[in-house]
Amino acid sequence: MLKPAFNYISYIETTAEALWDALTSSEFTTRYWFDTSVISDWKVGSPVALVIRGLTTDVGEVLEADRPRRLAYTFHHILNERAMRERPSRVTFVLEPRDNIVKLTVTHEGFADDSVVFDGISKGWPAILSSLKSLLESGKPLVIPFDVLDIAELDETFHA
Amino acid sequence: MKTDPFKPTLVYTIYIASTPEKVWQALASAEFSQRYFFGNSVEVDLRIGGAYIVRTPDGALHISGEVIECEPDRKLTVTFNVNWPALVEKLGPTLVTYEIEPAGDAVRLTLTEAHDRPISDDILSGGRSGWPAILSSLKSLLETGQAMVIKMEPPKQMLAALKKLGIATP
């Protein structure tokens, strides 16, 4: 693993297919991912874009897409001045079903030591993945204001 | 006890559709903890210096510790020592902190595991795989009324590393 890296494990009562669809379909992502559409055709080599209310925040390229087991894409923030100068990072989702529960492991790595994107994603992923779990298990996502994440660098960008 | 020498080895944050009071109760109640903590029950005397104990489903002492910080509905810090012979002697105490903060309509629960000396990744792997399962189940229980039944492999990497250090494990 390339350090610094962010690792997060969540156990979700769902199927691997439903979890895959929730990670890859904008219809779902807008509900739990701070209103973000995640747009791609999910073919290896295809572009990925994260779009919040018409504003593209991050772009990348699909590296792996093995439904419903493994998904990986590069991740390059393009809105914040400091963050856009950083090299792209890489996020990988591994889905492991067992009985009626899926173990989801998210690894986001490949950051420079002083990366502002690393700070942002480290605070963002637990909120996004918690809301995803709520949505799949109870039908209701969480209502978490973006401000509570306390991402200083990116807050300025979104409020500018 | 001085907590200064303790450095975090694991920080796990989870957001739960609940209230700080209910999350606090879930962390500190024996009956509740049995449902999300692999059947283990937490018995805690909620005052600084009070005992913190976790018993396995058969009643055996699994973890023993002491309350270091106690701010109801906000923060609980305990020593969290697995009751295996020579473990504390060789690895030192483990410190576990739960912090509860309101986050919109939800609650942010942050678990921190900390140690006062360097601990190998092999040994830390036990907590890194166990805590997400325990806290995922806690979240489900508070949100849906149903805890999760998560089947875990034994933490082989950790058990092998402990054995190498001469720490007897069950």
Cβ within 8 Å, pair A99-B151: yes
Cβ within 8 Å, pair A137-B140: yes
Total residue count of chain A as it appears in this document: 160
- For residues A39 and B169, which has the higher predicted lDDT (pLDDT)? A39
- Closest of A93, A31, A92, A126 to residue B135, by C-alpha: A126
Q: How confident is the model at residue A160 (pLDDT cuts 50, 70, 90)?
A: very low
Q: How many CB pairs under 8 A join A and B?
A: 70
Q: What is the pTM of this model?
A: 0.96
DSSP B93: -
pLDDT per residue over A43-99, tens digit each?
999 999 999 999 999 999 999 999 999 999 999 999 999 999 999 999 999 999 999
Interface of B with A in 137-156 (CB under 8 A): 137, 139-140, 143-144, 146, 148-151
Cβ neighbours for B42, distance < 8 A, ≥ 6 positions apart: B27, B28, B29, B30, B33, B52, B53, B54
Token pair belonging to B89: 């002697």
Give the chain A residue nearest B137 (alpha carbons).
A11
- Closest of A4, A135, A136, A121 to residue A60, by C-alpha: A121
CA distance B50 to chain A (A): 32
**All structural domains of chain A with their residue ranges:** 6-159
The ipTM (two decimal places) reads 0.95
- Best interface-test mutation with A: which of B105, B136, B152, B153 has the largest number of A CBs within 10 A? B136
Q: What is the model's pLDDT at position A154?
A: 65
> CA-to-CA distance for B55 and B57, rounded, in angstroms?
7
Q: What is the model's pLDDT at position A151?
A: 86
Q: Does A10 touch chain B (CB under 8 A)?
A: yes
pLDDT along chain B (170 residues), means of 10: 91 98 97 95 98 96 96 98 91 97 96 97 95 98 96 92 90
CATH code of the region A6-159: 3.30.530.20
Q: What is the model's pLDDT at position A4?
A: 86
Number of H helices, E strands in chain A: 5, 7
